[in-house]
Structure 1
Amino acid sequence: METLTFADALANLSMMAPEIWQACKETALMLVIGLAAAFCFGGPLGFLLYLTQPGQIFAHRIVNGVLGWLVNLVRSFPFIILMVSLVPLTRILVGSTIGPVAAAVPLSFAAIPYFARLVEQTLREVPRGVVEAAEAMGASPLQIITKVLLVEARSGLISGVTILTISFLSYSAVAGVVGGGGIGDLAIRYGYYRFQTEVMIAMVLLLVLIVQIIQFVGNRLAARLDKR
């Protein structure tokens, strides 16, 4: 069996540059859609979970219990099972079950409760005395949310977004294996099925690099916004 040299591996990867670039764009598209859904729906849901807890300004045991149960229900599904379960809905929403947009549907459903819990946990770390002081000064619920909770929790929220992004980068790789496209799909099709080990290694290193960049940027932003 002929041994592949480093120069040959680099030559093969350079020839695949268009496919690698396309895979990166597909992964980015899945992440953007999933994160947008998390921000638009998971963020407010996390605030609602926090604000309806006993002792909070909108305390409501039944609402909090129902929302918590729904969040835990979706989070209990392994991602690959969730993808399969949502195939009919995905087909209705986007007209297909393959491609990055189709894969973004289950990614979004998984991201919403995931981010909601991150938001809820971050808000719990805000000192209760800060909220009570705002209430004593006559702040409205909207002012408490926007000018107290968001400001006090912004560093933790950035850390939560960083965790979410990195976690769902790996989810997008799983989605690629079952028809979603992206970096994971490229690694499996070329690196595994065609025995091009250099492609598999390159895709793993690319994912490692992306994770390091996301973590670095997230840490810097969180540190800059930290009021402590």
Structure 2
Amino acid sequence: MGREGDPFAFLSVVNLELHRNNEAVKSLLTYLQDRTLSTPLQELLSPLLNTTNEEDKSNNKLAIILSERLINMPPDISPPAYKMLVEEIGYAVEDNEPYTFTHYLLLSKVYKEIESSLPSTESTSSRPSKRSKKSKKSSKSSNTTFPFHPEDDTFLQNSTSSIIYKYKQEPPPEAADSKRAFQEVGIMPMGRMVLMTKDGFEAAVAGM
């Protein structure tokens, strides 16, 4: 714990107004634009990412939310963390710092369940068990996606638009097997972008 301790979770925002010319941020923006091509989110997000004149910069101020935590960290840490973030942004605005955002873009992760390719650990009995039936049912509903961070669905409910996208470098099929963690099925991770207005973001945080 403390400054010398290992981090278990982090939450921050990327201020595009301040860091747009940073090489790492440029790469991130290029990636986001590529992933949103020909999607419903493109029309809304493009003006926020490409502020070409002073009027655009004044009317469109986007913050990109980055959040991650160790897999065994409870989701209970998220509501106070987000409330603290909102407070810190408020303090920065009071000090006339350029943190008056009009929109927030949450980058999060989701997954879908896929049929496991690992050998079954069940009995070889000809009579199907309840678990076998559940596995078959899970494989049929593979189009359903689930969030890695359950609190992200609160932001989704307060969003103006969102998309789920495949990663450029998808993991190989065998990497999706997480039978030790999920028992019945493997998982295939994907990305999700959730666009919110300032009011939508603050309403989501307040409702956590």
Please, what TM-score do these two structures have when normalized by structure 1?
0.26
* Structure number with larger C-alpha Rg: 1
Please, what TM-score do these two structures have when normalized by structure 2?
0.28
The structure in which a higher percent of residues are strand is: 2
